[in-house]
Amino acid sequence: MPAEHSDRVGQLMPHTGGVAVRYDEEPFRIRTLELSGGTPDTDPVVLVHGLNSAADVWEPVAFGLAAAGHRVLAPELRGHGHSSGDGRDFSLAALAQDVERGALARLDRPAVLVGHSLGGAVALELAARAGDRVCAVVLIAGFIEPDGPVEESIAALTPPFWQATADSWEALYLSYWAEQEPLPGWLQRYFDSTLRSDASGHLAPRLRLEDYQAICHSLATHRPSEWQIAW
């Protein structure tokens, strides 16, 4: 369980980056980062991360949106970061339910959905299923429909073996990235949410390979023609 987690499930708790964090445990853990800056005349914004990423990737964007007066929520999809869900249903419909539970269910007005990569496909799926709770969709390098056979698509999306160790990665971070990041400690928080050390001491994604491939299969077999969005 992450150190930031407490017994106050479903309540906002401090986050090391100055962002609030919420854990919803039933039927499994979904972690959501939140910045409250909403004003009555601004739409809330829900940020959906990409494949093998985490909610922390949105921190710089979230602070900018909150400064402009928006309430911002960034849910973490099942199996990613500090959310659980290993071995569960990884269809786009299931991932969309994570965003609905972690974010839309907590809002009293329609939201702008912003999706990056996998998050773009999830945002479109959610808009098709809960269009009355969505006022706009923004896609950033959104993944819509792959070319070629399913097996080729899954192989192309499967990550390579990482040779880096935790020590070498931290040294690289301190020597270069620490001076480039827009928020103090942001990249370190993001790496902590997306990477872990395996038994050999090498870094590996937190998202299990079999779950990663299950998501790739969902992306490769889902067709946009199944969506019917009307606002």
Domains (ranges, CATH) in the chain?
13-226 (3.40.50.1820)
Can you spell out the DSSP letters for 33-45? EEE----TTS--E
Q: Which residues of 201-228 are buried (b: 16+ CB within 10 A; e: fewer)?
A: ebbbbbbeeebbebbbbbbbebeeeeee
In whole angstroms, what is the distance from residue 215 CA to residue 92 CA? 8
pLDDT in tens, 137-156: 999 987 655 566 767 766 76
Task: Give the residue among 37, 163, 164, 47 at the shortest CA–CA distance from 104.
Answer: 47
pLDDT of 2 reads 42
In whole angstroms, what is the distance from residue 110 CA to residue 184 CA? 32
pLDDT of 116 reads 95
pLDDT of 7 reads 35
Q: What is the pTM of this model?
A: 0.83
β pairing state of 13-14 and 20-24: antiparallel
In the predicted model, residues of the chain with pLDDT beneath 70 are 1-18, 86, 143-148, 150, 153-154, 156-163, 169-170, 172-178, 181, 223-231
pLDDT of 4 reads 45
